[in-house]
Structure 1
Amino acid sequence: MEFRLLQYFVVLAEELHFSRAAQRLHISQPPLSVAIKQLEGQLSAQLFERSSKEVRLTAAGQHLLVQARDILDRSRRAALDTRAVAQGMAGCLRLGFVGSSMYRGLPEALAQLQAQHPQVRVDLHELNSAAQVTALQQGKIDLGLMHTLAAPAGLHTQMLLREPFMACLPAQHPLATQARLSVSSLAKERLVLFSGAVSPEYFRSIHSLCLRAGFDPELRHEVHHWLSVLSLVSNRQGVSIVPACLQRAGIPGLVFRPLRDNTVHSEMQAMWRSGLEHPLVTALLEHLKHQIEQSATRTQADAPAARIP
């Protein structure tokens, strides 16, 4: 059945008068009569009883009216929803992220996105960087926020942030009195680090930083979440080297100190499928970059986070 025929049928069923129905449809009466006969022929059912005095719906016509209104309504809603999704006003964004992005403006960016577009649903998936790449390739997420990785074919990247690593110490630690530390000053300390199995990039960066400072770090714990790293340090289970953004975690009993001879940085990049026009990806990235810029302006650390052009 054509939508046009259903539209003609519904208007005539509401008016029960060919002339008035034709006027509403902005057509003449003969094409309306032809359309109704065509629809009845397609359905092999009489929809109207016609006489010189009145037009009435048959039982078949009354049944079709309910169905036709539903079909036309769903068609209109589908068109409106599709337009809203195309304009970034509605739809679903499947977002992969690493834990550190929660301290790099992601919660605020998500709040802004959903305040502006309340019909948007964001599905969050906490995954390590390698798992995000796989999820992007398999079409399971639309956008990934991850540590620096070379993009495989078919994926596009944008650098969002580069910030220094800092020493993280218990507040009572003797080194906490110094304004700035050398990496070598941590040589005799037991380190609490993010697991190399979960984030080999972070692990290699910190391990190489220690090796360049002249020592092979003694690992006390390897954990899977940054909050676990901070909690262990605050409970005097060791010290750590962490991205500067973790100063904003708000865990008591910790101090963060810049590293004097730091030669590596913690980076966060966005990755998505090349050629995929997804308005929600663009919108969230704009909010996130704005939050990163605001955070850089507010931060008073010696080496604040910086937006990458």
Structure 2
Amino acid sequence: MRIRHLHYFLVVAEELSFSRAAARVHIEPSPLSRAIKELESELGVRLLQRTKRHIHLTWAGEVFREEARRMLSFMEGAQNRVQAAEKGYRGRLRIGLTDSLAQPRFTKLLARCREEEPFTQVKIVEMTVNEMVKALAHDQIDAGFTVHTGLSTGLIKEVVWTDRPVIAIPKNHPLLSFEKIPLREVVRHTLILCHPELCSGGYEVTHRTFREFTVPLPEIAEYVSGHEPMMMLVAAGYGIGFGLESQVTLYNHPDVIIRPVTDDVPSAATFITMLDQPPSEELSRFITRAQRVGEVVTA
């Protein structure tokens, strides 16, 4: 089974068109179609149902799509490992980063990893929470960071640090009369909210916070993929933003004022999520290092 054919099949499965798929892989549609037929012949199953106008995956094709992804991921991982070994690395960690959590604590963690364990390679992959769950199940990452409190079967999580919620407010806004913003005042204004799929952790934190205080969620002006576009829309006057302090302060904007919520609103935890099994020695040290970084920052 040729790796190239697996790649061809995944592109066809995504495009559901030989002409569009051929353009993406830079070959003609006819040899692409032959390659898929060779793959079907080798497997002894039909992967695609073809008609004059349309193609779609058979059930066997649906199953094989997941297996092809897993095989290509395995091969990519093998290639990365031998290349890392050539550079002198003795171990590796594959870490998923969800909810746009590129923040100062994570920078300090990576810097400490390079300082204390230079022969362990740490690869960072940005993804959504749903992608993180699948990547853990398919052994594509070793652990993932998220603020989402939900937990899928077979996964465990540990708190590594906490963060205070804040409100991003445009200049000359009536909420600026408050030094700390009560949630009951937030509901009077339209809200820029994290997207329920692209940034589901932030979305879940916001919904949970308002639900725990039995305060209705404000009218939603726009959904965004992270804190940076949220700040842009707040500055433009679309609404106010609800986010985490460490994230919002990364994207300071001259037309946006940041105010804390009142002290009765709890902090939000950032979790490291992994399979419910004993972690490797490298991962165990990584988790301990992350929790120490959180202690230093919050002390």
TM above 0.5, yes or no, is yes
Mind listing any 5+ residue stretches in structure 1 that lack a counterpart? 1-77, 298-309
1:216: Cα distance to partner? 4.3
SS in 2 for 1:105: helix
* Counterpart for residue 269 of structure 1: 271
Aligned residues, how many?
Answer: 211
**Distance in 2 of aligned mates of 1:237 and 1:125:** 31
* Counterpart for residue 120 of structure 1: 120
Segment drifting more, 137-146 vs 100-109 = 100-109
* Counterpart for residue 237 of structure 2: 236
**2:253 pairs with 1:225:** no
Is the 2:99–2:146 contact (alpha carbons within 8 Å) kept by the matching residues of 1? no
Is the 1:169–1:255 contact (alpha carbons within 8 Å) kept by the matching residues of 2? yes
1:291 to 271, 293, 296: 293
1:195: Cα distance to partner? 0.4
Mapping of 1:61-210 within 5 angstroms? 90-103=90-103, 105-147=105-147, 148-153=149-154, 155-207=155-207, 209-210=209-210
Is the 2:99–2:200 contact (alpha carbons within 8 Å) kept by the matching residues of 1? no
Q: Name the TM-score, length of structure 2 as normaliser.
A: 0.61
**Distance in 1 of aligned mates of 2:271 and 2:118:** 26
SS in 1 for 2:231: helix
Give the AA of the match of 1:143: A
**Distance in 1 of aligned mates of 2:215 and 2:96:** 37
Shift in alpha-carbon separation, 1:246–1:172, aligned structure 2, 3 A: farther
* Counterpart for residue 257 of structure 1: 259
**Distance in 1 of aligned mates of 2:136 and 2:216:** 38
Q: Deviations over 1:48-85 (max 9, x none)?
A: xxxxxxxxxxxxxxxxxxxxxxxxxxxxxx9xx7xxx9
Is the 1:104–1:292 contact (alpha carbons within 8 Å) kept by the matching residues of 2? no
**Distance in 1 of aligned mates of 2:287 and 2:215:** 40
Identity of aligned pairs, percent? 17
Shift in alpha-carbon separation, 1:91–1:195, aligned structure 2, 3 A: same
1:227: Cα distance to partner? 1.5
**Distance in 2 of aligned mates of 1:208 and 1:116:** 37
Give the AA of the match of 2:193: L
**Distance in 2 of aligned mates of 1:230 and 1:180:** 19
Mind listing any 5+ residue stretches in structure 2 that lack a counterpart? 1-81
**Distance in 1 of aligned mates of 2:287 and 2:136:** 16
**Distance in 2 of aligned mates of 1:107 and 1:249:** 12
**Distance in 1 of aligned mates of 2:263 and 2:112:** 38
* Counterpart for residue 25 of structure 1: none
1:252: Cα distance to partner? 2.5
* Counterpart for residue 79 of structure 2: none
SS in 1 for 2:161: strand
